[in-house]
Amino acid sequence: MRVFEHKQALGLDIGQAVAKAVLVSRRGNRVTITAAHKLDCRAEGILDEQELATEVGPWLDKQGWSRKETVAGIPQYLATTQVTDFPPGSEGNLDGMVRFETQHLAGLSEEAFIYDHQLMTSTLNDKRPVLIGICRQSVVEERAHNLQTAGVRLADVTINATALAAAYLHLYPQETASEAPQLLIDVGAENSTVVVLAGRQILFTSALMFGVEQYIQQVAQELGSSIEKVREDMADPDHIIRPADANSPYVKAASMLRTELQGALENWRAQEASEVAKVQFASVSLCGGGAHVNGLDAYIGAIFKCPSQVIGVPLPGNETRDPVLVTAYGLALQGVSASPLHISLAPKAVRSQAMRRLRFPYLVAAAGILAAIVTFVEVKVYSNVVNRRQTLQRELKSVNLATSIVPELEDTLRKIAFRQKTLIPLVEKGNHARRFLQSLAELSDARETMAAANRNAEGWIVYLADKQSFQTGRQSRGDAAPLSETGNPLLAPSSTTEPSDGASSNGGSHHETRRIPVTAVKPLDGMIAALYTTSDPNEPYRFVKNFINRLNTEDKQTERGAGPSSQEGTATNFFTNVDLMPEAETAGREDIFIPWVSFFKEARTGSYRRFTLRLPFNTQDVHLPREREVVKCPPGPQATAHCQSPYFSSPCRPPGRISMCCARSITK
């Protein structure tokens, strides 16, 4: 894809008598001629080339082309072109070899030169022909300065000979199929340009000191007529060059071109390879102002004994071809990068300005895109900030609303927890008998399992009570801690309050009923059981171990064992972690076994051993309400208000609005 290339360019060919301009457009590989105009110097009263260059700017401005990228041509007599054959494989060092060849062409001159080269495709041998164009820097800069001063937007400068060849290759591609040399002649007003082509390769270029003006002057001299009269009669079909009439004044005048042309070609043939120099021309093509001289193309064809033709540029909307515009068309092709022979002799300043103009629209487009992206991002960021602000305001409003509701919710939760605790004594009282009976059933099953597993084993339960009752028995004997610390407050006896020093003098005392806070009541979490088993001298704990294992082993729960939190028919334990109580914990409850000790002494039935078991319940029927966790926020240095919630105790800032720490506590 061609990005940094002109899509439209103007080719400007400034001759001695006529200035020609062709505007072309390119889309892809297709090049079309948009418009073409000519400036007649005689009609405009322009006398010299300097004045013509000055008038070109206003003329282009009048045509609306002053802002078009323009490629100007340098006449062949002011430049030098040379074709040099380099060996194959020399492309890597081609620049250095061309520089050396250019210095050789410049000779001992102290002037600076501008040069360029173009690698061509050879159709005659296996070498790599390179077209080298060279011109004095002062000549190029002077022409560029004159055109830019006149208001021409100069993009490039090239040689008219290469532009002529490029136009011919582009307009007549079918002619390039032949490998035989072809002769191109552009006859101008005061000089002519000659190009020898072979396929798509330039073999030779030269300038001839012959033009239409010399031809007219010679004809006028031969006829003894005025120059103006001869110029007017040139369009008359009777005034034609007939090669067979050697005495014709027109043939004598055209012989000047023959002499110049043969001299230039002999010079080329002397330097060219013999196998190429001896080949006859395949055709002769004539263009320029001399193409309007009647019979000149046939005269040249007769000289070289080959076909001849007049070539021209097709005009827009017209089927006719104008031979005067060929060179200008070749210049325009180089402006849109469509020239097959690209030789640029433009100064560095001209190239830099042209490249800046070419890239400036892309710079503007990039700046516009960047500005659009920045604007879009700014708008997007602003929109996000606004949306985020609105979201935060809604969240802050919700948090402030939650702040006002939290105290009421906490108070309600406290009331609910208190009501739940007040139900604990009632639930415990109603559930105590069921737990007791279920414990007896489990112990009976364990005793039967023990007896079945051991034929000589006997055992029976002599005591079953809850922890509080067991401890109460110890307190009644004075062996335990005060009741308020370890006993069940529901089973605690009434306390007696002694009178103070200011009491009644009769020495009497009064009794107060002990008040028990309902929140101090703890749910029943296990039982204490005392039992006797047959004593085995070898293994004293063998039978009780089987008894304990049965209590700790899962079993199918029966209907009598179904509790509110269990499902019938599922495997579960009523007790968990059943174990023997150490003697230190059973001290003070010897009264449980005293009647049985006396019984065994009187009965003398066998040897038995007593044990006391701790029977923790596997599940609880009553669950105390959970205590609310208090999340403490770090204290603030500028506290002005306090959060009214048990979740936190740190101050909230500012007044009336909850802090972020408080907000996090609420969300937890």
Position 93: which residue type? N
The answer, yes or no, to whether residue 508 has pLDDT greater than 70, is no
**Cα distance between residue 439 and residue 467, in whole Å:** 13
Condensed to tens digits (0 to 9), the pLDDT of residues 553-607 reads: 865 444 444 444 444 444 468 889 999 998 888 888 888 888 888 888 877 666 7
pLDDT of residue 453: 74
pLDDT of residue 358: 84
Is residue 529 within 8 A of residue 441, CB to CB? The reply is: no
Helix (H) / strand (E) containing 495? none
Backbone angles phi, psi at 366, to 5 degrees: -65, -40
**Cα distance between residue 442 and residue 613, in whole Å:** 13
**Region 631-640: what's the mean pLDDT?**
48
The answer, yes or no, to whether residue 639 has pLDDT greater than 60, is no
Neighbouring residues of 507: CB distance < 8 A, sequence distance ≥ 6: none
pLDDT of residue 500: 41
Nearest of 618, 539, 524, 529 to residue 581 by alpha carbon: 529
Got the DSSP string for 389-437? HHHHHHHHHHHHHHHHHHHHHHHHHHHHHHHHHHTHHHHHHHHHHHHHH
**Cα distance between residue 29 and residue 162, in whole Å:** 20
The answer, yes or no, to whether residue 94 has pLDDT greater than 60, is yes
pLDDT of residue 499: 43
Position 146: which residue type? N
Is residue 648 within 8 A of residue 634, CB to CB? The reply is: no
Condensed to tens digits (0 to 9), the pLDDT of residues 405-458 reads: 988 888 898 888 888 778 877 887 888 888 889 989 988 888 888 777 776 667
pLDDT of residue 70: 93
* Mean pLDDT for the chain overall: 80
pLDDT of residue 603: 72
- Token couple for 103: 């210095």
**Region 515-521: what's the mean pLDDT?**
68
Higher pLDDT, 126 or 44: 44
**Cα distance between residue 449 and residue 3, in whole Å:** 99
Condensed to tens digits (0 to 9), the pLDDT of residues 16-27 reads: 888 999 999 998
pLDDT of residue 107: 67
Tell me whether residue 233 is exposed, middle or buried, using C-beta atoms within 10 angstroms of its C-beta: 0 to 12, 13 to 18, 19 or more.
middle
- H/E/C letters for each residue in 307-348? CEEECCEECCCCCCEEHHHHHHHHHHHHHCCCCCCCCCCCCH
pLDDT of residue 46: 72
Position 42: which residue type? R
pLDDT of residue 507: 44
pLDDT band at 362 (very low <50, low <70, confident <90, very high): confident
**Cα distance between residue 91 and residue 129, in whole Å:** 11
Condensed to tens digits (0 to 9), the pLDDT of residues 103-116 reads: 776 666 678 889 89
**Cα distance between residue 241 and residue 250, in whole Å:** 5
Backbone angles phi, psi at 313, to 5 degrees: -100, 130
539-548 contact pairs (CB < 8 A, 24+) = 540/609, 542/454, 543/450, 543/454, 543/457, 543/459, 544/459, 544/580, 544/609, 544/611, 546/449, 546/450, 546/453, 546/454, 546/457, 547/446, 547/447, 547/449, 547/450, 547/459, 548/578, 548/579, 548/580, 548/613
Higher pLDDT, 332 or 512: 332
pLDDT of residue 514: 62
The answer, yes or no, to whether residue 209 has pLDDT greater than 60, is yes
Is residue 267 within 8 A of residue 288, CB to CB? The reply is: no
pLDDT of residue 556: 46
pLDDT of residue 161: 94
The answer, yes or no, to whether residue 210 has pLDDT greater than 80, is yes
pLDDT of residue 628: 56
Strand partners, 116: 133
**Region 206-221: what's the mean pLDDT?**
91
**Cα distance between residue 351 and residue 93, in whole Å:** 24
Higher pLDDT, 626 or 469: 469
Condensed to tens digits (0 to 9), the pLDDT of residues 143-188 reads: 999 888 888 999 999 999 999 999 999 999 888 777 788 999 999 9
**Cα distance between residue 138 and residue 112, in whole Å:** 8
Q: How much of the chain exceeds pLDDT 70, in percent? A: 79
**Cα distance between residue 645 and residue 658, in whole Å:** 11
The answer, yes or no, to whether residue 525 has pLDDT greater than 80, is yes
pLDDT of residue 626: 65
pLDDT of residue 483: 37
**Cα distance between residue 644 and residue 647, in whole Å:** 9
**Region 303-307: what's the mean pLDDT?**
91
Helix ranges (H only) for 273-312 are 274-277, 296-304
Condensed to tens digits (0 to 9), the pLDDT of residues 39-85 reads: 887 777 676 667 777 788 889 988 889 889 999 999 999 998 888 88
Position 414: which residue type? R
pLDDT of residue 169: 92
pLDDT of residue 150: 87
Query: What is the distance between the terminal CA atoms of the chain, rounded to a whole angstrom?
Result: 62
The answer, yes or no, to whether residue 387 has pLDDT greater than 90, is yes
The answer, yes or no, to whether residue 291 has pLDDT greater than 80, is yes
Is residue 166 within 8 A of residue 341, CB to CB? The reply is: yes
Interhelix angle 249-271/212-223, nearest 10 degrees: 140
**Region 89-108: what's the mean pLDDT?**
74
**Cα distance between residue 632 and residue 646, in whole Å:** 9
Higher pLDDT, 449 or 649: 449
